[in-house]
Structure 1
Amino acid sequence: MATKQEENGGSARIVDVDFTPAPADELNSVSVIPWSDVKEAADLIVQAAITARVAEIHQADVLNEGPTVGDAQRYREMVNDADFDWIGEKFQYFYERWPAFAGGIASSLQEAKQSLLSGRMTPINNVADVTDAWAGEAQHDFKSYFLNPMLTQAVSNQQLMFDELTVAMQAYESILRQCRHDAVAIARETIKVLDSITDKTPEDVQVTLGVLGVAVGVVATVASGGTATGLTLGLIGSGISAVSTGVSAAQNINGDTVESVMSQLRTTLDDLKEAMDNEEQAIADGLAETETKLQGWLSSSDPLTVGTILANEPNDDGTTDISDGHVPPESEFGPKR
């Protein structure tokens, strides 16, 4: 809670909030790899799949004692490269969005927040102190409905909203970073299986999807932090949790034919996409909860409830609203006697 000093003749003061450092640290534990790494990984799968398909044809030709056994060029011409076009298309989903975009939005939000910090709003404190030297209904309304809510709640909660959106962007960026790692890992392990197609015991590998829970982990660093005014929002305070979709973190890739390996690769990439979408939806759900709470405050008929996020004076109480720029009569606003 903001500390009030009214008992000593002073005014309440703004309490700054800052919930972004811990999520930033959690985000930065996931390194950034360039989009080209993911695209290259997809291209390498295609090459490995073509090579494995050629090996399959060669092996079948040997078993059937074909007339051109060992004719590598003939085997290569029998492979249709278009059969693997879908690989590049699916991998594009994991690198087409740039983490830096989300990071840029987060930085801009924090820059905007600077104007609301207590040190930058010293003139408001000065107004509050001067107002204490005056009396009347207009002074009372201005103090009770505008200055006090602004200093004890509204500004802190406006800062909190910048942090809420910043944390959402940090969580989103963590998804975009981690999915690239996951996609490259899937490619690396799939290639191992493809390279072993003609072995007596083909590889059986497993990939762990790190993207599952990555956004939840970022938000969880502040989920129990509360706020300066004791309020909780959809992300900061409440936290988020991933909705179960049946996607497993452990993904198995195996098979003794190119077709079977490609089938498992497709399933694994679909699961990675679903895991990403699920994480993003968790962030959206948290922000939707925040929006609901904000709309509840702003649409309230109680000025003090509205003042939780936006300081205001009641318009229908017959008292002049100083915050609207009106000059009240001396009977409503004058020096204390």
Structure 2
Amino acid sequence: MHDNKEWEQQAADALKSVARRMEIKAYVEQSPLLYGLLKKAALQYVTGESRIDGLEAGQRLTAKGYAISLEYIGENTVNAEECEAAVLEITALIDDLGKQGESARVSFDLSHIGLMLDTGLAYTNLIKLAARALETELELFISMEESAKTEQILEVYKRAASRYPNIGITLQAHLHRTPDDLAALSASPGRIRIVKGAYQESDEVAIPRSESLNEGYLQLVGQALGDGHRVSVATHDERIIREAIQRGLLTVHGAKLEMLYGIRPELGSKLKSAGYPVQIYLTYGHEWYLYLCHRIAEYPPNLYRAVANMADSQRVDPVEAYE
């Protein structure tokens, strides 16, 4: 008999595989009943499908004392017109946040703005966004994607960050290459976000979820802070957070906790009340299916919450859970 940890790992692996099967995604989108049910589940983790949804949730969290990061969901865009549409939407998001005067961050995948077509296109679009964000004193953040894209993403980031210091980069602790990647970023001025890594990767490429991965994560945080980087500790794992606190990593200047919208709001509230800076990562957009699968895969008990939300006649409002 498998124990709970084995079952959760199998469930996570299965969800990551399902998330990448476009025929399943297409079936969901073409089934009004199934689409409606899954969308209710997604609203635990996604603010909605429009920019207004993200901005309103962000304003409410800012009023409660949280920093915010907003992302217009999308990745693996292979059509130039769709890439341009994504750039226009992200530009509008930057402008709206600037008008609100929010101290915020705008995040996105490079594959949403051209990486799948040409690294030059992704770089050009990134520069446009960075220039616009600099005018409004906003920080841009590049998310990390599958390991096959890591080299291209870092190449584009380094070129852009040498011109615009308001661009940050995400590193995945589970990749074997990450300590070397971090060392190579010593001259880059942007903030570094460290995540465990949500993508399904082979053992040759990545470390499986384990105590070894947790220790590697903490070592990366310590290495980044020691190198003088501002660091976002992006995790919901209480063991890692507790150890980071014990090691004094979260009191180093430039350190910040980052947590995904709708996941462990009680933990975010507790940490903020204890005086630690907490940033909530919010998303919006129509491409929520993949995001939902990853959130459940990251923490399989989220599946129970998703099922409960599908059955609940009331609209989910995760902001209310934050104190």
For this structure pair, what is the TM-score category when the shorter chain's length is used for normalisation? under 0.3
Structure number with bigger Rg? 1
TM-score using structure 1 length: 0.20
Q: If each structure's strand is expressed as a fraction of its own residues, which one has the higher value?
A: 2
